Homo-oligomer: A and B are copies of this chain.
Amino acid sequence: MNAIDRPAPPLQVDRWFNTPDAITLESLRGKVVVLEAFQMLCPGCVAHGLPQAARVHATFPRDQVAVIGLHTVFEHHAAMTPVALEAFLHEYRIGFPVGVDRPGTRGPIPQTMEAYAMRGTPTLVLIDAQGRIRHQHFGQVGDLVLGAQIASLVHEAEATSRLPLPADPTEHAPACDGDGCRVEPLRA
């Protein structure tokens, strides 16, 4: 996890699922955005990241918190095509909007993933109501911590003034052994 505070780069997405219109972060100003970056063949995403994003989607009011999936394919590109993703979203009953991250021009890492400096999948990014990255979790993060972080950002948004966030006492280095998918080997 990095507790950070910089403008969230725009989503570089050519194709969207589960939404009639393309989504921009600008259009979500005023809401807390939970951005779940995943790959459909990443076991940690399927077992942990996506179900957690679905719980967030089901738990928080839609006018306060927006959940967005981002398919950040950085390996097995021939397998994880948009056609395959569409079937995956259907079979796993993912109901929130999912965008396909635009392929990189110089390597396997797609453009949004690169702009956010994500280390692999799953990565959960929390963006505040003013469009700033506030937390970026690679691997697993507990529901208790995530619920608290989202609620804190919602409170900030409601106060329309910046309050200090409590320090996160439980963050550890990513421990996603087998089932997380790290970027590093590709960057080396």
Interface residues, chain A, CB within 8 Å of chain B?
Answer: 41-43, 46-47, 55-56, 58-61, 64, 75-76, 78-81, 83-84, 86-88, 90-93, 142-152, 154-155, 158-159, 163-164, 166-167, 169-170, 178, 181
A79 → chain B, closest Cβ, in Å? 4
Given contacts A147-B144, A149-B151, A155-B152, contact A166 B87 (CB under 8 A): no
Residues of B within 8 A of A181 (CB): 91
* A76, A151, A169 — most chain B CB neighbours (10 Å): A151
Say which residue of B76, B83, B148 sits within 8 Å of A147 (CB atoms).
B148
Given the contacts A41-B88, A56-B144, A151-B147, A159 and B163 also touching, CB distance less than 8 Å: yes
Residues of B contacting A61 with CB < 8 Å?
166-167, 169
**Top 6 closest A-B pairs, CB basis?**
A147-B147, A143-B143, A79-B87, A76-B87, A148-B151, A151-B151
